[in-house]
């Protein structure tokens, strides 16, 4: 156990400091402080000495230099069991500092608020970060409280042990101090790297939420990130790891639609989706796509949910519903199941950068944000699609973009008829989609087909034509594209190329 006989307090956020300073002073601890913190403590009537009285130098350069002095850092870094250090501290009249309390300038808050660059630069803390690292390095003798988040832990120790700390407590504080330091430096680097574009993977996310478990009950799960990045939860049980995966997939898909649309997500893929002028109609068409898979799914729409739609949704068991808003009566209907998760999408949006762990490293890529427009479609057959078919082609192409590869989507009238997803061959994906569509009573005559990648052979368009599908959208790019084109021309089919592959693994 080590006694705290002296303390240096230099903080941005003062909440909690009154209690800490009062307890320290009441136990006879000598307190040193800087600038606004010194003034704050002094006005409380608590004995405090200015750092300037110790260093003999005033705060200079507009406050940029206050604590950067040998009498401060010597007092923190001096080893209490090292004879040479003790001798030098005595020679240069450097008092030992046993406790350092710091709360850094809120750099990230200024960046988030899009403050002027000079204001942001001035919020890069120099003295504070140096104090944190010095005190953490000498944790054997010094306690470091590196942020306001640790004030409570210090108060708990002071209440329990008085002004004494154990080596374990000091080491825990030191570990947290280096976390604070690392996170702060990463935030600064990220700001400068907006223009520098240095290739580095440097995520440092401290805010986190413990999940019930990971993908399966025997796996641990944690979500790292700010809660405000997530949709606002209005009702229901705790969101799970698998819920989060489906929620992200749902938000990414619905973000590509402007007209009134409803999608039903299961295991990150759409099992139902439809666009219509009336929300209730969109819901009924989306559900018809696969009413079996909809059980336990995730429902999402880009319009306010009304009572009539909520009543229809409420007839099914489902895990999550997401919408930009809800009518009061609709919310009452949906809240009838206590565990049902009801989310307000608010400002939640997909991240522009995607990354995943891979063989001990990290794969990073841009999110696939490309959205085909009518002008991006290149007709490659003698017959060109009609305007209504182009609408269906673009609708189907949005869905296939968000489906696990290899993927085929069949659609008609802006309604998902069926999809084949996650297959090892494109033909298998098509056969799966056809079988599903037939199982739910859809007539595929006049439907369109979308593929996430090119057809390596002409067999897929031949199979589709045999089911009455006569319009196709695909990226193109196969050395055998002509096989598919020739078959379409010989059988009265139309096909367009987009030039953009949409693999999703």
Q: What is the spatial distance between Cα 191 and Cα 185, in angstroms, rounded to a whole number?
A: 10
| Separation CA 181–CA 134 (nearest Å) | 11
Ramachandran angles phi, psi of 411, nearest 5°: -150, 160
- Check if the beta carbon of residue 31 is closer than 8 Å to that of residue 59: no
Other CB atoms within 10 A of residue 443 CB: 12
Do 457 and 480 touch, CB atoms closer than 8 A? yes
User: Is residue 160 packed enough to be buried (19+ CB in 10 Å), middle (13-18) or exposed (0-12)?
Assistant: exposed
Q: Return the active site residues.
A: 137, 267
Token duo for residue 479: 């050395």
Q: What are the b/e assignments for 45-81, b being 16+ CB within 10 Å? A: ebebbbbbebbeeebeeeeeebbebebbbbbbbbeee
β-partners of residue 103 are: 11
Note the residue count of the chain.
505
CA distances from 465 to 5, 386, 444 (A): 86, 17, 10
3-state SS class at 366: strand
Which alpha helices (DSSP H) does 220-306 contain, by range?
241-254, 279-288
């Amino acid at each position: 156990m080590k006694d705290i006989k002296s303390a240096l307090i230099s903080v941005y956020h003062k909440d909690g400091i009154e209690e800490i300073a009062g307890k320290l002073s009441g136990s006879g601890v000598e307190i040193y402080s800087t600038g606004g913190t010194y003034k704050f403590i002094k006005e409380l009537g608590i004995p405090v000495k200015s750092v300037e009285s110790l260093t003999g130098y005033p705060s200079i350069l507009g406050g940029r230099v206050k604590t950067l002095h040998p009498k401060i850092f010597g007092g923190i870094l001096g080893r209490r069991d090292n004879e040479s250090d003790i001798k030098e501290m005595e020679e240069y009249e450097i008092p030992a500092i046993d406790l350092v309390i710091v709360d850094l300038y809120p750099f990230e808050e200024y960046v988030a608020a899009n403050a002027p660059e000079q204001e942001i630069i001035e919020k890069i803390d120099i003295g504070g970060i140096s104090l944190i690292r010095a005190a953490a390095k000498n944790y054997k003798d010094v306690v470091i409280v590196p942020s306001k988040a640790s004030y409570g832990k210090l108060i708990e120790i002071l209440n329990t042990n008085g002004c004494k700390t154990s080596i374990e407590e000091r080491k825990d504080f030191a570990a947290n101090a280096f976390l604070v330091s690392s996170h702060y430096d990463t935030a600064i680097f990220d700001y400068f790297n907006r223009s520098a574009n240095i290739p580095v993977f440097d995520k440092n996310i401290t805010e986190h939420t413990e999940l019930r478990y990971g993908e399966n009950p025997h796996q641990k799960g944690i979500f790292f990130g700010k809660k405000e990045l997530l949709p606002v939860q209005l009702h229901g049980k705790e969101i799970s790891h698998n819920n989060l995966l489906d929620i992200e997939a749902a938000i990414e898909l619905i973000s590509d639609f402007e007209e009134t649309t409803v999608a039903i997500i299961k295991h990150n893929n759409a099992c139902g989706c439809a666009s219509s002028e009336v929300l209730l109609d969109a819901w009924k068409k989306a559900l018809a796509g696969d009413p079996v898979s909809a059980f336990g799914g995730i429902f999402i729409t880009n319009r306010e949910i009304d009572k009539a739609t909520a009543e229809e949704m409420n007839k099914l068991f489902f895990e999550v519903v997401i919408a930009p808003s809800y009518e009061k009566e609709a919310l009452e209907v949906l809240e009838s199941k206590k565990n049902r998760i009801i989310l307000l999408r608010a400002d939640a949006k997909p991240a522009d950068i995607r990354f995943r762990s891979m063989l001990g490293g990290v794969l990073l890529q841009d999110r696939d944000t490309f959205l085909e427009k009518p002008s991006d479609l290149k007709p490659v057959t003698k017959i060109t699609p009609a305007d209504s078919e182009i609408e269906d082609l673009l609708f189907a192409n949005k869905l296939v973009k968000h489906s696990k590869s290899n993927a085929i989507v069949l659609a008609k009238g802006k309604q998902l008829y069926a999809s084949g997803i996650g297959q090892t061959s494109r033909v298998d994906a098509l056969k799966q989609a056809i079988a599903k569509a037939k199982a739910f009573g859809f007539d595929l005559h006049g439907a369109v087909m979308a593929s996430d990648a090119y057809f390596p052979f002409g067999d897929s368009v031949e199979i589709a034509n045999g089911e009455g599908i006569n319009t196709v959208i695909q990226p193109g790019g196969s050395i055998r594209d002509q096989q598919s084109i020739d078959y379409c021309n010989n059988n009265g089919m139309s096909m367009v190329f987009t030039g953009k592959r949409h693999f999703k693994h």
